[in-house]
């Protein structure tokens, strides 16, 4: 069963085409078999009703000829399905099949008043008969009658093959015409990324196809509207919160109790960071609006590592890209910064490894921290999710850093994967496809 499943094509186009072609081939073979069987029945019926009279007429001719001239007439009386031989001595079993028995009975009845001495199955043909007949002067004559199969011309098989080929081509064209809109719909759905700027489907064509295209275009329009509304709400909240946060910050400066003042200031900083990162994440849902640019990737990575070193953060760079690359530099910088910040938050040894490959570029951020439980590796990429249960802002953050990095990577056509290292710590791997500037 598993082998059969592997042989079945996976695409709907191939499956439907295969089913139709096989169905047509079976129908053609059944039609050909039915026609062949009907022609065989008709030929047998014709043989059963006409050949016995021909044999009887030929025997009557031989009976009227002088014995010396009968040998010269044997070739003239011979036909494709029967011939005559002077002499007797017919040996062999009686006809075994009902068809052969009926054939023999019909010949024997037609030969009257001549006597059929012996009827036997022919040794040279399974459907042939040998009948020994006594002529009027007592001379024996052997009748060798055989059934002739239905002739089939070679051109008939070629016509059937061409007909099947034409039907297969028509089936292929029909299935392609039916499944091509599904392929276009799937391609448009794949192109519908976080920027919600997929191409609009053509709404022409058959009724069902046009209806599906209109529904898809309306769906992506509604989704784009919902996402824009979310961003506007978060932007409005951020803008409106700036004034009360600033006012509260000024009031904390007037407080006499320094301990309370420090606590209020920390809470206000956390509120400000949360609002700022919330708006940043909402904007990433629109995808990368930044246009791609040709940059020196090594210079970008070296400048980032240098900035961390200036801030006293232990970050090392391993490997080089070695060639210019086409990417969205600001989005890539934000992705790597979020990953490095997350690594520095939980580890003391942070490395950025660069591995250029033939068709992609891999940039991995490694740390020696505690890692992430395997069942939470996917969950940490969701917004506001933190592994820590304490919800401590100083170590847990806002829960948006990895979510923003993941969303930006998806928007720019890259892949972000998290995995625990065997020697301990976490590896955040960013895979960029088609980065060649040429």
153 pLDDT exceeds 60?
A: yes
103: CB partners within 8 A, 6+ apart: 47, 48, 95, 129, 145, 147
- 44-89 tens-digit pLDDT: 555 555 677 888 888 888 888 888 888 888 888 888 778 888 887 7
373 pLDDT exceeds 90?
A: no
311 pLDDT exceeds 70?
A: yes
Which range has the top average pLDDT, 268-277, 390-399, 423-432?
A: 423-432
Distance CA 336, CA 168 (A): 54
**Bigger pLDDT: 294 or 106?**
294
Q: What is the pLDDT of residue 392?
A: 40
| 220: Cα within 13 Å, side-chain hemisphere | 21
Q: What is the mean pLDDT of residues 125-135?
A: 79
- Of residues 20, 308, 35, 58, the one with CA closest to residue 156: 35
Residue 389 pLDDT grade (very low, low, confident, very high; cuts 50, 70, 90): very low
Are 282 and 317 spatial neighbours (Cβ–Cβ below 8 Å)? Answer: no
Q: What is the pLDDT of residue 225?
A: 76
188 CA to centre of own chain: 17
Residue 1 in 3-state DSSP? Answer: coil
- Of residues 277, 278, 292, 354, the one with CA closest to residue 322: 354
Are 22 and 172 spatial neighbours (Cβ–Cβ below 8 Å)? Answer: no
Residues of the chain with CATH 3.30.565.10: 291-433
192's torsion region: left (phi>0), alpha (psi -120 to 50) or beta? beta
202 pLDDT exceeds 80?
A: no
432 pLDDT exceeds 60?
A: yes
Query: Looking at the domain that runs over 291-433, which CATH code has it been given?
Result: 3.30.565.10
- 337-353 tens-digit pLDDT: 989 988 888 888 899 99
Return the CATH architecture of domain 12-146: 2-Layer Sandwich (3.30)
Return the CATH number of 192-287, one of 3.40.50.1010, 1.10.287.130, 1.10.1060.10, 3.30.420.40. 1.10.287.130
Q: What is the pLDDT of residue 125?
A: 62
Q: What is the mean pLDDT of residues 351-367?
A: 90
Q: In whole angstroms, how large is the CA radius of gyration of the chain?
A: 46
Q: What is the pLDDT of residue 431?
A: 92
Please state, in angstroms and as integers, the Cα–Cα distance from residue 157 to each residue in 50, 152, 416, following that order. 29, 8, 60
DSSP-assigned states of every residue in 138-172: S-EEEEEEEPPPPP--HHHHHHHHHHHHHHHHHHH
Q: Are strands 350-356 and 293-295 parallel, antiparallel or unpaired?
A: unpaired
14 CA to centre of own chain: 8
Are 365 and 352 spatial neighbours (Cβ–Cβ below 8 Å)? Answer: yes
- The two three-digit tokens of residue 128, written as one number: 């042939």
Return the residue matching tokens 């292929």. 172
Are 135 and 141 spatial neighbours (Cβ–Cβ below 8 Å)? Answer: yes
Would you give the DSSP letter of residue 381? G
210 pLDDT exceeds 60?
A: yes
- 235-279 tens-digit pLDDT: 677 667 777 877 887 778 777 777 877 888 787 777 777 777 666
Q: What is the pLDDT of residue 354?
A: 92
Would you give the DSSP letter of residue 427? E
Q: What is the pLDDT of residue 196?
A: 59
Q: What is the pLDDT of residue 393?
A: 43
Residues of the chain with CATH 1.10.287.130: 192-287
Rounded to 5°, angle at Cα 380 from 376 and 384: 130
Residue 438 pLDDT grade (very low, low, confident, very high; cuts 50, 70, 90): very low
Residue 151 pLDDT grade (very low, low, confident, very high; cuts 50, 70, 90): low
Residues of the chain with CATH 3.30.450: 12-146
> How many other C-beta atoms are found inside a 10 Å radius of the C-beta of residue 67?
11
């Amino acid at each position: 069963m598993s082998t059969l499943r592997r042989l079945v094509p996976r695409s709907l186009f191939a499956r439907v085409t295969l089913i139709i072609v096989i169905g047509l081939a079976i129908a053609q073979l059944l039609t050909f078999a039915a026609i062949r069987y009907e022609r065989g029945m008709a030929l047998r019926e014709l043989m059963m009703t006409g050949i016995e009279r021909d044999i009887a007429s030929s025997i009557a001719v031989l009976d009227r000829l002088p014995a010396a001239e009968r040998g010269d007439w044997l070739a003239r009386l011979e036909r494709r399905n029967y011939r005559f031989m002077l002499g007797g001595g017919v040996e062999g079993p009686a006809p075994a099949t009902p068809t052969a028995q009926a054939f023999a009975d019909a010949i024997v009845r037609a030969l009257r008043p001549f006597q059929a001495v012996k009827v036997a199955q022919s040794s040279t043909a399974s459907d042939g008969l040998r009948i020994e007949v006594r002529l009027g002067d007592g001379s024996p004559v052997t009748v060798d009658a055989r059934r002739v199969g239905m002739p089939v011309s070679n051109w008939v098989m070629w016509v059937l093959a061409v007909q099947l080929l034409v039907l297969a081509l028509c089936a292929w064209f029909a299935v392609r015409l039916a499944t091509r809109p599904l392929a276009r719909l799937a391609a448009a759905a794949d192109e519908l990324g976080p920027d919600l700027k997929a191409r609009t489907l053509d709404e022409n064509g058959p009724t069902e196809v046009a209806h599906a295209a209109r529904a898809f275009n309306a769906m992506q329009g509604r989704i784009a509207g919902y996402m824009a509304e979310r961003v506007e709400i978060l932007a409005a909240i951020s803008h409106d919160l700036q004034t009360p946060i600033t006012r509260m910050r000024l009031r904390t400066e007037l407080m006499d109790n320094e301990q309370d003042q420090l606590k209020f200031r920390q809470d206000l900083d956390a509120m400000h960071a949360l609002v700022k990162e919330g708006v940043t994440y909402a904007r990433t849902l629109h995808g990368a609006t930044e246009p791609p640019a040709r940059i020196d990737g090594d210079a970008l990575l070296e400048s980032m590592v240098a900035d961390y070193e200036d801030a006293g953060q232990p970050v090392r760079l391993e490997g080089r890209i070695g060639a210019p690359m086409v990417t969205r530099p600001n989005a890539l910088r934000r992705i790597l910064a979020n990953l490095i910040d997350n690594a520095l938050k939980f580890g003391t040894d942070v490395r950025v490894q660069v591995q250029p490959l033939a068709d992609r570029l891999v940039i991995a951020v490694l740390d020696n921290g505690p890692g992430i439980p395997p069942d939470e590796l996917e969950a940490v990429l969701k917004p506001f999710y933190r592994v820590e249960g304490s919800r401590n802002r100083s170590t847990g953050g806002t829960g948006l850093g990895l979510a923003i990095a993941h969303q930006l990577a998806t928007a720019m056509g890259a892949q972000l994967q998290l995995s625990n290292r065997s020697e301990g710590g976490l590896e955040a791997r960013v895979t960029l496809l088609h980065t060649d500037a040429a």
